[in-house]
Amino acid sequence: MKKTLFLFFLGFIIVSCNQTPKSTYINFGGFTQGTTYSITYESSDNINYKEEVEILLANFDSSLSTYNEFSMISQINYNKSNITDNYLRIVFEKANEIYKQSNNAFDLTVAPLVNAWGFGFKNKEIITDAKIDSILKFVGFNKVYIKDSIIIKSDPRIMLDVNAIAQGYSVDIVAEFIEAKGVSNYLVEIGGEVKANGINKKGKTWKIGIDKPFDNNNIPGQELQAIVKLSNKSLATSGNYRKFYERNGVKYSHTINPKTGYPVTHSLLSTTVIANDCMTADAYATAFMVMGFEEAYILAEKLTDIEALFVYNDENGEYLVKTTTAMSKLLEDIK
């Protein structure tokens, strides 16, 4: 009897080992932060995390969305509260770091200028030099700080615009959630900002397309400037070819220089940044667009753990592409 039982359990163990579920790749997407998102990951248990991810993104939105009048940052912007949360404190700390590294090109307090030019969360204003000068008096990241979880402004008119860093941070938040589930192969994309880890379904390195930066190129992937091989890194792209308007023959970019108060007018069309985390990549992509090609390229080469691709016009209006040293090794030819 004992021998029979032993053989039975041995057979059970062998069958169980042979029937280990084969992993599969799950993909889902939706809408968040006024844009779309897509998540792909390898799963050994076939669990779809869409519901949990959307709850996570909704909570994130209720903290950092400037378009949600009840969000924490909106309450701070309109002086209804001065209490911060962990999301804002992390974004604020990273923004302060990049503000200093970029010679003040990246500045969260640019919000009143972005609003005045019609690219923010308030209605466009009539722009005059006097108007810009009056706004610049309460623009400057050195005029606001956080102490004991309380945000302190030197002027109540100061407003924060975290849109150039929060979307990248939301990618990091979702990626951390996915990793906490024991997943090592995944791609998280929100509004074009990406974090990729491990390999894709075909066992290959993830590949990300970078759009050509020509005006009104509003269909992602339609015409590509480059393809980047991305593994265990994050990528973000910033450009002036989708968000702009023209008035009296003049093109006004959504990238506002916080030091001058005016949209940038240099030849840099788009910047793609690769970093360890998407929050850093997102913020530097914007900072570089403010700085312009020459200054941005020098900084990108100087920074560790940062690689960049710049697309800009020469004096004849022709597209030129320049990459940092290691970035060129990550590019794949477009056929």
Establish if 3 belongs to a structural domain. no
- Per-residue confidence at 18, pLDDT binned at 50, 70, 90? very low
The token pair at 25 is 């790749």
Q: Which uninterrupted H or E stretch holds 320? A: strand 319-323
- Closest Cα partner for 96 from 172, 162, 149, 171? 162
Tell me how far apart the alpha carbons of residues 110 and 120 are, in angstroms, rounded to a whole number.
10
Give me the domain span that covers residue 244: 27-332
Tell me how far apart the alpha carbons of residues 103 and 63 are, in angstroms, rounded to a whole number.
28
Establish if 21 belongs to a structural domain. no
Instruction: Residue 71: give its domain's CATH number.
Output: 3.10.520.10
Establish if 121 belongs to a structural domain. yes
Looking at residue 7, its pLDDT comes to 31
The rounded Cα 322 to chain-centroid distance in angstroms is 21
Tens of pLDDT along 112-147?
Answer: 999 998 888 887 888 899 999 999 999 999 999 999
Establish if 18 belongs to a structural domain. no
What share of the chain has pLDDT > 90, as a percent? 70
Stated pTM of the model: 0.88
Tens of pLDDT along 206-237?
Answer: 999 988 775 555 555 557 888 999 999 999 99
User: From residue 187, how far is each of 28, 43, 56, 205, 334 by CA, in Å?
Assistant: 11, 13, 17, 11, 21
Establish if 44 belongs to a structural domain. yes
Establish if 266 belongs to a structural domain. yes
Tens of pLDDT along 148-191?
Answer: 999 999 999 999 999 999 999 999 999 999 999 999 999 999 99
The rounded Cα 285 to chain-centroid distance in angstroms is 9
Whether residue 293 is predicted with pLDDT greater than 90 in this model: the reply is: yes
Tell me how far apart the alpha carbons of residues 255 and 117 are, in angstroms, rounded to a whole number.
10
Domains contained in the chain, number: 1
Tens of pLDDT along 247-258?
Answer: 555 555 688 999
Tell me how far apart the alpha carbons of residues 236 and 211 are, in angstroms, rounded to a whole number.
12
Are 60 and 87 within 8 A, CB to CB?
A: yes
Average pLDDT value for residue range 30-55: 95
User: From residue 56, how far is each of 36, 95, 176 by CA, in Å?
Assistant: 15, 22, 11
Establish if 17 belongs to a structural domain. no
Establish if 4 belongs to a structural domain. no
Average pLDDT value for residue range 87-97: 98
